[in-house]
Chain A
Amino acid sequence: MASKFKGVDFYDLDSLFSDEERMIRDTIRGWVDERVLPIIEEAYIGRYFPRELATEMGELGMLGANLPEEYGCAGLNNVSYGLIMQELERGDSGIRSFASVQGALVMYPIHAFGSDEQKETWLPALASGKKIGCFGLTEPDFGSNPGGMITTARKTDGGWLLNGSKFWITNGSMADVAIVWAQTGELGDTKGIRGFVVPTDTPGFTATDQKGKLSLLASDTSELHLEDVEVPESALLPGAKGLKAPLMCLTQARYGIAWGAVGAAMACYVEALEYAGERIMFDGPIAGKQIQQIRLAEMVTGITQGQLMAYHLGRMKDEGTMTPQQVSMAKRANVDMACEVAREARRLLGGNGILVEYSAMRHMANLESVYTYEGTHDIHGLILGQAVTGLAAY
């Protein structure tokens, strides 16, 4: 099924993708046209995540798509996975966030650190979208510095007792299972941080919706409260030892964001370009005015740079050479670019640009969350600063 969205390809990057990669991208593109765009306005204004999309995404194979087929996943390479994120975020950052959390922050740690039993219990159900997962790392007082977390896990006879709160948790209220990160040792000892697979119907576990958001409205963002939540030993992720484990998950999700941001920027640019061609002001279309041309030129340049960065990052990930610092650079640069593109598109649209029937302001507001979550723009700058100077400045 052909999509009406032609994409943005100023540098003929299409020629670098394989037939399968292009086919995968075009499939998701068509799906977003048909299933996301017609309902996203309503979901955004109504402040809900369109739950039915989760199962469809599962049926098509979008969830944890780069994980192996033996657990019901699509077994795609990382470039294909990135293209999926790009296309989903062309629809809405909230939809992409859902897929990122499910795939990179819930399925990935179960696959990378979980026991066979955990994998068999959860991965096929999460891949199909029948079950939903969330990832609880951030706390009210520990955002950029999760190593300081005060949620604790204490050993009991045959299991663990969890206590604490997690803030800003995507998918939190609708999740069937939560990956909860907790301190098993002394507070502040990053080696003592361990991960737990916690069914959300465990007594003592509650989730409440985060009220008052002005961004990422078509996404479930919640607080998790764990009050004497008792889980068996089998809930512990055996392979996840220390803060490094959740950070590895974040690297996966950030990789997807580097692609997703490009998708959001593409949506805004294409909308602005079309609008500029049609909007007659004074003596002709505003596309013929120097100011708007420079605006559009900056947008398409930023997008092309972002595409190249995401593309090469993806090839490096597939070859196994990608470093977390390279991911930091791409997440930071591409989200920043997308924020700029969305804002400039909004401005080009004049008064219409503040309306929800155009996508620019929705993307613009969404991208402020993307700028902050998964490591803020600043923190990724500090990671890069450390990478080039050898000095940590956090």
Chain B
Amino acid sequence: MNIIVCVKRVPDTETRIRVGGDGTSIDPSGVKYVLSPYDEFAVEAALRLKEARGEGEVTVVSLGDDASQETLRTALAMGADRAVLLQGEVTPDGLATARGLAAEIGESDPPLVLLGVKAADDDGQQVGPMLATLLGRPCATAVSSFEVTDESVVCRSEVEGGTRVLELPLPAVVTITKGEYEPRYASLKGIMAAKRKPLEKKEAQTGPSRLRVKAVELPPERTAGRIVGEGPDAVPELVRLLREEANAL
């Protein structure tokens, strides 16, 4: 079974973010970029499926600039077979990204398309479902594990208070979250082999973006804690503050 995994290059979650001079982007200097961790789960899921079935090809697709090649190589080093870079601008408009991906994926029409549930940078959670809609396919989101038969995919998601199990007919789109698919380390041989695997570049067909970033701001500095009193006497004040200021009760 051929599988396509859509992956995105994002700032390392350990990176200290600074706002760029324009106030609408992050300052890229000194920022380390990685394969978005949720996409990493999706790549791992695809590789395990391929290994379990002993057949099929895993293709990774990324929409972005040339630097995204490094992200694709990471997925190739993990074991994906080939990569496609859709060269284009990544906008905040999930629909534009989904259109770009749909144009590519529609051509090869693989039975299963996997994505991370969201990109670790903008937390959009849009691209997977929008891609499914554009492809006219069913979509399961935030899936922590799944099994595939020849006709369908059975997806488990952790929902409030339990697990939900969905069955989707193939072809389908599934977005993956943290759960079953702890990503493997790329072996050193895998890293060397990644150099020799095919990486195709194409112009992305995203269409216009209708969203515009107005501002990027850092969260306010955390203010110091406050001691409201000591012993049982402090309890009424503590309860009042928790109720009125913190809205925690």
- Write the residues of chain A forming the contact surface with B, with a CB cutoff of 8 angstroms: 1-4, 6, 19-20, 23-24, 27, 30-31, 59-62, 65, 69, 74-76, 80, 84
Contacts and interface: CB of A to CB of B under 8 A. Distances in A.
A1 B40 contact: yes
Contact of A23 (B14, B73, B183, B189): B73
Given A1-B185, A2-B13, A24 B191 contact: yes
Given A4-B14, A74-B188, A74-B192, 14 more contacts: A2-B14, A19-B73, A23-B186, A24-B191, A27-B185, A27-B186, A27-B188, A31-B185, A60-B185, A62-B188, A69-B189, A74-B189, A75-B189, A76-B192
A1 B187 contact: no
A137 to B, nearest CB: 28
Q: Which residue among A1, A24, A75 has the maximum number of chain B CB atoms within 10 Å of its CB?
A: A1
Q: Which residue among B34, B74, B192, B194 has the maximum number of chain A CB atoms within 10 Å of its CB?
A: B192
Contacts of B188: 24, 27, 60-62, 65, 74, 76, 80, 84
B40 A75 contact: no
A369 to B, nearest CB: 27
A43 B140 CA distance: 45
Contacts of A84: 188
A20 B192 contact: yes
A84 B185 CA distance: 14
A62 B13 CA distance: 27
B228 to A, nearest CB: 25
Interface string B5-34: 000000011100000000000000000101
24 contacts: A1-B40, A1-B183, A1-B185, A2-B12, A2-B14, A2-B32, A2-B34, A4-B14, A20-B191, A20-B194, A23-B73, A23-B77, A23-B186, A24-B191, A27-B185, A27-B191, A60-B188, A61-B187, A61-B189, A65-B188, A74-B187, A74-B188, A75-B189, A80-B188
B70 interface: yes
Secondary structure of the B contact surface, majority rule: helix
Contacts of B40: 1
Contacts of A6: 14
Contacts of A62: 188
A59 B186 CA distance: 10
Contacts of B194: 20
Interface string B176-194: 0000000101111101101
Nearest to A35: B185
Q: Which residue among B12, B188, B195 has the maximum number of chain A CB atoms within 10 Å of its CB?
A: B188
A60 B187 contact: yes
Nearest to B34: A2
A2 B195 CA distance: 20
A175 B146 CA distance: 43
Contacts of A59: 187
A62 B189 CA distance: 9
Nearest to A69: B189
A362 B184 CA distance: 30
Q: Which residue among A6, A23, A69, A84 has the maximum number of chain B CB atoms within 10 Å of its CB?
A: A23
Interface in B182-232: 183, 185-189, 191-192, 194-195
A74 B187 CA distance: 9
A-B pairs, top 10 by smallest CB distance, nearest first, are A61-B188, A74-B188, A2-B12, A61-B187, A2-B34, A61-B189, A74-B189, A60-B187, A23-B191, A27-B186
A80 to B, nearest CB: 8
Nearest to B188: A61
Contacts of B32: 2
A74 B183 CA distance: 21
A341 B35 CA distance: 34
A69 B195 CA distance: 15
B138 to A, nearest CB: 31
B235 to A, nearest CB: 32
B17 to A, nearest CB: 14
Contacts of B74: 23
Contacts of B189: 61, 69, 74-75
A19 B70 contact: yes
B29 to A, nearest CB: 12
Nearest to B16: A6
B20 to A, nearest CB: 21
B38 to A, nearest CB: 13
Interface string B38-62: 0010000000000000000000000
Contacts of B77: 23, 27
Interface in B148-164: none
Nearest to A76: B188
A228 B158 CA distance: 65
Contacts of B34: 2
A102 B73 CA distance: 29
Contacts of A23: 70, 73-74, 77, 186, 191
Contacts of A61: 187-189
A71 to B, nearest CB: 12
Contacts of B12: 2
Interface string B69-82: 01001100100000
Contacts of B73: 19, 23
A75 B192 CA distance: 8
Contacts of A74: 187-189, 192
Q: Which residue among B12, B77, B191, B194 has the maximum number of chain A CB atoms within 10 Å of its CB?
A: B191
Contacts of A80: 188
Contacts of A76: 188, 192
A191 B211 CA distance: 77
